[in-house]
Amino acid sequence: MATDSGAGDPDYQRNLQLLRELQLSGYAEAGLDPALFLASRPRAEFDARMLDLLKTISPGVSEQALREQLHKDGAESSGAALTEFEDPRMLGILLRFAKQIEDGMAPGKKLPAQLLFGTVPSGRVNAMAVRMKGSRYRLIILDAGLFGFANLVAKAVAAALPVTISDKSTSYSTLPAEVDRRLASHPEPLARFADVILAYVVGGNPQRAQAYLPTPDLVPFSSSLRAGIEAFVVAHEYGHCLAGHFDDSAETQQFGMMPGAERILTDWQKEFEADGMATLLTLKIMTERGYDPALSLIGADLFFACIGLVYETVSILQTGQSRTEEQVRARSHPPPALRRAVIYEIMKQAGAPDEAYAAATDLSQAMSRVTDAFWAELEPQLHRMHAEGVRPAPAWQDELA
């Protein structure tokens, strides 16, 4: 993680120039004004969510002190932003998780390369790593809408699970019959989910979905889902780095128009290795932040489920059909269903208590029931939209390639 300005470092400046060029071309190809794209993210909701996170990881600290810390973090993130196209609020999330990962590394252990995170409207739900020849940095490109998408999806899923509130706690049922009754009596989450998927795939920006704040009873679970997604996304890239996938010997291909820019190529085996490391890192991050082990991986699980649904949405709107088996197997990343299974296998192998493992897999099955219901509602609508000529936003046009 690099947060220094790098003003006198030619290597850093080369990566900065590459990121800026990728962002300029990305926003232009997507037909988006970056100023409007960034401004569309609701500040009040973001500040509320960060305050909630600080309360979770800082028990006993007054709310006023946490608000002051939030303001300070925002100022530091603004100073660490690599380019003017970065949203410092999103960058703050990345830096917080990255710092926790690096601070938790064994004494004397160093990363093979320094990671720089940047965002581009890429139409890719999976991140990609880019390097400049001879550079000690690796530029990790995330889609600009990814974390906004994660936040809105987390709220929709949390609202779809049966909730029980007592004086001392809030609990969620994973019983299939109760999940089905909740979905039947509360149709709003289905509409919210469809709204964010279509805003992301058709509108090119998940923040085009209608903004809303979750009710207080839903905040604990939606917060754990969102934090789990964010932690896993960052941890996955560190997993690649720690596994040596970003070393100088990595297979690459020319990327973009800038001389010396190369995209680092991966395969299914490397992705599974990075997922394994990310699973262990995420468990550590989330438990250090006070989350129950049974909840620590549900965000990653939801992330993979939603990757699959985004792929399917793009495919149906673009071709009128779901993805073929050949299209699934031709991708650099494994099918989301396989990746979901791997994270729980890693959890079990890591020695998770039987009770925590059982609770985690029960919750995973309940969440799958919810996302299956979301998809059953959305899929017919997508076929109608395709017939009416609706297509994915320009950034997604190459998603099936």
Whether residue 166 has pLDDT greater than 70 = no
Q: How far apart are CA 129 and CA 127, in angstroms?
A: 7
User: What share of the chain in percent tops pLDDT 70?
Assistant: 82
pLDDT at residue 189, rounded to an integer: 95
191 assigned to some structural domain: yes
pLDDT greater than 50 at residue 78: no
pLDDT of residue 64: 76
Q: Per the domain annotation, does 106 fall within a domain?
A: yes
In a domain, 189, yes or no: yes
Q: pLDDT band for position 212 (50/70/90)?
A: confident
Mean per-residue pLDDT for 20-34? 81
| Residue 326, in any domain of the structure | yes
pLDDT higher than threshold 80 for residue 289: yes
Q: What is the pLDDT of residue 169?
A: 66
What's the pLDDT band for 79 if we cut at 50, 70, 90?
Answer: very low
Q: Is 279 among the domain residues?
A: yes
Instruction: Give 341-354 pLDDT, tens digit per residue.
Output: 999 999 999 988 89
Is residue 321 a part of any domain in this protein? yes
Q: Per the domain annotation, does 284 fall within a domain?
A: yes
Q: How does pLDDT run across 174-184, given as a tens digit for each residue?
A: 899 999 999 99
Structural domains of the chain, count: 1
- Mean pLDDT across the chain, nearest whole number? 84
Structural domain boundaries enclosing 22: 10-396
Residue 224 lies in a domain: yes
| pLDDT value at residue 401 | 52
pTM of the model: 0.85
